[in-house]
Chains A and B, each alone.
Chain A
Amino acid sequence: MTETKELVKKLADKYGRARESLMPILQGVIEEERFVSSEAMTEIARELDIASAEVYGTATFYSFLDTQPRGKYVIRVCKTITCDMHGKKKVIEKIEDLLKIKLGETTQDKKFTLLTTNCLGWCHQGPVMLINSTPYPSLDENKVTEIIMDYMSK
């Protein structure tokens, strides 16, 4: 069994094989692999005994359930109104600069992916970003540099 298959099986054992377990299982795959590969989806379909197309349809509905390969650290910068007003553009440009990638891209070493997202619920402390599931509020160019540098050395 490949690693992905094992992971899916483990998650299905943990959450059960009813349809309602689909989200927790997809989330579990993201947690480990940062995206849900075609292999993972086929395997989930097999475990839950549903069509792979349904797994795909469900996964693509949710913006955090990426079906494209992503880096080890997925950075999502809030682009909604108050973060926009308070300088999300500069933050994104800074990250692009640091990682030498454009928005939507993944670094060559597969370590970082840079995306935007909608309101993260930190509007009073925008701009804000998530790195995987950790929020980083009150960003400016200096702060974001510090954070990214820190991750780069991880």
Chain B
Amino acid sequence: MAEIVKINIDGIALEVTKGTSILDAAKSVNVKIPTLCYHEDLCVAGNCRVCVVEVEGRKNLVASCAAPAEQGMVIKTTTPKVRRARTDIISLLVSEHNTQCTTCYRSTNCELQSLAAEYNVDSERYLSVLKPNIQVDKSSYSIEKDDSKCVRCQRCVRTCAELQHVNAITVAHKGRDMKISTFMELPMNEVVCVNCGQCVTHCPTGALTERRYYHEIWEAIGDPDKHVVINTAPSVRVALGEMLGYPVGTRVTGKMVTALKKIGFDSVLDTDFTADLTIIEEGHEFLQRVTKALKHKEKVALPMITSCSPGWVKFIEHMYPDHLDHLSPCKSPHQMFGALTKTFYAQKIGVDPSKIVSVAAMPCAAKKFEANRPEMKSSGYQDVDAGLTTREIGQMIKQSGLDFVNLPDSNYDSYMGESSGAAVIFGATGGVMEAALRTVYEVVTGREVPFKNLAITPVRGLEGIKEATIKLENVVPEYSFLEGAEVKVAIAHGLKNARVIMDQIKNGTSPYLFIEIMACPGGCIGGGGQPIPTNDEIRKKRIAAIYAEDEGMPIRKSHEVPEIKKIYETYLEKPLGHKSHELLHTHYKKRNRY
């Protein structure tokens, strides 16, 4: 039974369970204490000391994020002593900082900047101790690292270690030389970083950002010779609004499409189209493997694991290079999109593919790297010219001067603009699995999945690893060998959880047949390219928006989308066919773990 302690914060008496931090206790009575190194997703570090408060009877101030409330504590959060100390600490951070807010990508969305403004610190208070000659590391396609803007809060390091189990970055050296570093201070593109961008969304400042490509896209849009196509991922539409004046969890699909058209994209398409295509391809791949294994007793790699999260793909390439055969061969949806844009689409609209610039609007930082993988050239060109994050799209809309809130809604263009609700839910953890089950179950049994409103609830939600078992009964004759079979599936999000799943596979103890893995906690809605901040509360709201979007769709299953049926009839021939292999599938590379 949890013990209750009585405390008093700024004159408010309250009771909290023992062990609650002073910060959380204060939050519960709407007393806001400033923080910097604290992040809801991460373990408490207590190193910035911005959150200090006064506890009656103690000479020293107390870091409220790290100190548990104790019986009888009388806490004051805004005494002159506290204010002076906080001002001093923020001034110290500024004195170590390359304060270039006017040109900084994180300006107006930076925790140091708002703290410094809130406390109105004097930038001249202390001498500058900014290290000279700091070079910005722009080696990675996805992540830019600028140590001159780092406040050493270690949020990135904790993210990479705790949430992602990658440990591409670490705290190195000590004292005045302490800094965030890679192994041997190597450039980011030479280390095990999987480009997930989680460190970016957890960084309070402009020290870690995604590498931006929108300048090039503006140029391309302005070039009359270029045909610029953009496809937008499902998670973008439920998060973009956060940057443009909407509350968290607002769907802005129609306005986003209008804005992109007004910005001058020649065609605004929906990544959902290839998400549906992924389901068809991946679903058939799965059935093919199961058939081989169960019917023909052949040796195939099972469980099969989804491959639509490029951060996850690079993770398995580094960490489990001997188990790449478990990965579905499908490219991530936007890469399929890119390949089709410069082939199928180009043909349809009669434009020379060399003139097409294909852009992907993604919740993701890893897609930037993926777009630049050498094997992603199945159209004969670089399939995707640029992967932009939700944040970059938001930035472009701001730059365009559009009055976003008052824009009318529009529909996606075609071709490749139609899609199902199954594709929309790709954005949330469990969504790919749910979409796949909606289709696979129907293929095998001829009936809809037995869940109310098609909502396969066991695979939904924010639990790190989710499981579900689907029993197959009264199957169609082709799949008679599956009669009565129980298909056990799992869903993991956040690479920490992926490790658990992979260790089972490595040890030969995995009970599953099919697994969905997403690199980012919460799935794409919590992606490394999404608006900052992201935390569980925000993730939940974005997820709710995703499922609402699904429910509002006339078509809820991938295999029922007319345009999908049509592309198989007219272009791709059949799932897993020759053209699919050429355009929609890829192969993987063993990478170094250390």
The interface of chain A, by Cβ under 8 A from chain B, is 38, 41-42, 45-46, 50-57, 60-61, 67
Contact = CB atoms under 8 A, between A and B. Distances in A.
A17 to B, nearest CB: 14
Contacts of A67: 184
A39 B184 CA distance: 11
A57 B170 contact: yes
Interface residues of B, number: 17
B171 interface: yes
B279 interface: no
B173 A53 contact: no
Contact of A51 (B173, B174, B181, B594): B594
B172 A57 contact: yes
B9 to A, nearest CB: 37
Interface of B: 166-174, 181-184, 191-192, 593-594
Contacts of B181: 53, 56-57, 60
Contacts of B169: 53
B173 A41 contact: no
Contacts of A54: 167, 170
Contacts of A52: 183, 192, 594
A55 B167 CA distance: 10
A53 B174 contact: no
Majority secondary structure of chain A interface residues (helix, strand, loop or mixed) = helix
Chain A CB count within 10 A is highest, among B191, B192, B593, for B593
Nearest to A44: B594
A42 B170 contact: no
A48 B192 CA distance: 17
A54 B594 CA distance: 10
Given A51-B192, A56-B183, A45 B170 contact: no
A112 B182 CA distance: 29
18 contacts: A38-B183, A41-B184, A42-B594, A46-B593, A50-B167, A51-B168, A51-B183, A51-B192, A51-B594, A52-B192, A53-B181, A54-B170, A56-B170, A56-B181, A57-B170, A60-B181, A61-B174, A67-B184
Contacts of B173: 60-61
Chain B CB count within 10 A is highest, among A38, A55, A57, for A57
Contacts of A53: 167-170, 181-183, 191-192
A70 B172 CA distance: 20
Nearest to B166: A51
Contacts of A46: 593-594
A60 B594 contact: no
Given A41-B184, A53-B168, A53-B183, 16 more contacts: A41-B183, A51-B192, A52-B594, A53-B167, A53-B170, A53-B181, A53-B182, A54-B167, A54-B170, A56-B184, A57-B172, A57-B181, A60-B173, A61-B172, A61-B174, A67-B184
A45 B170 CA distance: 14
Contacts of B192: 51-53
A53 B166 CA distance: 10
A60 B182 CA distance: 12
Contact of A45 (B168, B182, B594): B594
Contacts of B170: 51, 53-54, 56-57
B143 to A, nearest CB: 14
Chain B CB count within 10 A is highest, among A46, A52, A55, for A52
Contacts of A56: 170, 172, 181, 183-184
Q: Which 3 residue pairs across A and B have the least CB separation, nearest first?
A: A51-B167, A57-B170, A53-B170
A38 B184 CA distance: 7
Nearest to B185: A56
A57 B181 CA distance: 8
A16 to B, nearest CB: 19
Nearest to B184: A38
Contacts of B171: 57
B311 to A, nearest CB: 16
Contacts of A41: 183-184
Nearest to A46: B594
A45 B594 CA distance: 7
Nearest to B592: A42
Nearest to A57: B170
B168 A60 contact: no
A57 B184 CA distance: 9
Contact of A60 (B167, B172, B191): B172
